[in-house]
């Protein structure tokens, strides 16, 4: 099986030993507490899940700036985006060497992790500006990722963590949430050697379904891991339970048995385009996948990134030996009226735009909200029905 990023074996930060877990829970009650923001909580879940291997915890300021500027830590580990625990209020943890990190997304704010505090550093305006510009490619506060990052706080608390909970993800998505450890185990149980990963924060229409099948065939993969984001999104995006139901229905009806795994991970979307695409590749390698699909405007938002910037970053900025996972570069995929099937647009040079069934997101939402059927060339009827029920309930 493909090796994890940066180490021989996967080292999740979750404490699986029951006795040690109980001891840490008891210890946490007597420690100074910090209530995390959602982004820092999501980072803890990803560290606990093994997706952020080999990081032991939150980065210090020097590593965060270096990662933003050069895509590697000060000791040379390749990493595409800063992994930080930011806050505005350090009054409860000043001079503390060990702190309890509390979950902002679960009622009662239970302990999510314990952190050994190596440093508490104030971020300068210039450092924040440079990190924002490098990671997101813009300083525009209308960009949802920029708006979130710049609001998280001026103090970076660095140090290793021991994770005690996967937040709300296990409870809310018991059939879907999987750690990198669990996905690796499932891949082994299936006996798969080559595995294609597909990232989604949206329901999957016909084009996405066929893209997974094309990538599987082109790479000679044994199976596909459909890996959906289960954390916080921007307003207007479809909630995770609805996406989950729609994707499961599509896989159940339209994929051959034992060729697809429906899984999800607990992270808040960054909308960081190319940099986030690289992060996605890192944690799919940690989950045991050998190939990762990157399509048009991967992890993008609005018009902030070029259509294929998330692919070219792997050619222009990611060192050749930085990752073991292979990137499957996909074009925009749509149903061809001429050919009667879904194709990648680059494979149909004789087509005009009118030869494809193309619908904007606005058009799709309006159609579903009106209770009208989407074209079967665009969406499977069973999937469209789940989405229509959601939009009509709003």
Q: Which residues are marked as active site?
A: 201-202
Region of residue 167 (left: phi > 0; alpha: psi -120 to 50; beta: else): left
Contact 219, 326 (CB under 8 A): yes
Query: What distance lies between CA 339 and its chain's CA centroid?
Result: 34
3-class secondary-structure state, position 196: strand
Beta bridge partners of 164: none
CA–CA distances in Å: residue 370 to residues 66, 308, 363, 392: 50, 33, 11, 7
Beta bridge partners of 33: 100
| Euclidean distance between CA atoms 202 and 209, whole angstroms | 12
Q: What burial letters (b/e) apply to 162-187, b meaning 16+ CB within 10 Å?
A: bbbbbbbbeebbeebbbbbbbbbebb
């Amino acid at each position: 099986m493909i090796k994890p990023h940066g180490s021989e074996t996967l080292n999740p930060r979750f404490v699986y030993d029951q006795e040690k877990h109980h001891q840490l829970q008891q210890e946490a009650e007597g420690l100074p507490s910090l209530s995390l923001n959602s982004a820092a909580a999501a980072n803890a879940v990803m560290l606990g899940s093994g997706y952020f291997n080999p990081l032991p915890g939150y980065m210090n300021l020097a590593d965060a700036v270096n990662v933003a500027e050069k895509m590697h830590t000060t000791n040379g580990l390749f990493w595409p985006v800063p992994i930080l625990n930011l806050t505005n209020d350090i009054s409860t943890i000043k001079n503390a060497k060990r702190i309890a990190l509390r979950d902002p997304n679960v009622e009662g704010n239970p302990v999510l992790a314990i952190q050994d505090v190596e440093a508490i550093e104030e971020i300068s305006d210039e450092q924040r500006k440079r990190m924002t510009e490098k990671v997101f490619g813009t300083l525009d506060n209308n960009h949802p990722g920029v708006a979130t990052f710049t609001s998280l706080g001026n103090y970076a608390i660095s140090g290793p963590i021991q994770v005690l909970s996967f937040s709300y993800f296990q409870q809310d998505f018991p059939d879907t949430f999987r750690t990198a450890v669990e996905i690796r185990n499932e891949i082994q149980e299936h006996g798969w050697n080559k595995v294609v990963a597909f990232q989604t924060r949206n329901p999957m229409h016909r084009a996405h379904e066929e893209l997974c099948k094309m990538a599987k065939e082109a790479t000679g993969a044994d199976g596909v891991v459909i890996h959906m984001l289960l954390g916080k999104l921007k307003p207007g995006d479809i909630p995770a339970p609805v996406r989950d139901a729609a994707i499961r229905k599509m896989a159940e009806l339209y994929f051959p048995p034992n060729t697809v795994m429906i899984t999800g991970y607990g992270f808040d979307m960054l909308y960081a385009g190319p940099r986030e695409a690289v992060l996605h590749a890192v944690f799919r390698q940690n989950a045991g996948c050998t190939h990762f699909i990157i399509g048009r405007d991967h992890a993008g938002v609005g018009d902030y990134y070029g259509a294929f910037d998330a692919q070219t970053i792997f050619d222009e900025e990611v060192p050749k030996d930085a990752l073991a996972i292979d990137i499957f570069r996909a074009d925009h995929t749509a149903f061809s009226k001429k050919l009667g099937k879904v194709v990648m647009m680059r494979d149909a040079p004789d087509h005009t735009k009118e030869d494809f069934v193309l619908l904007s997101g606005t058009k799709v939402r309006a159609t579903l909200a009106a209770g009208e059927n989407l074209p079967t060339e665009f969406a499977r009827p069973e999937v469209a029905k789940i989405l229509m029920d959601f939009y009509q309930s709003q």
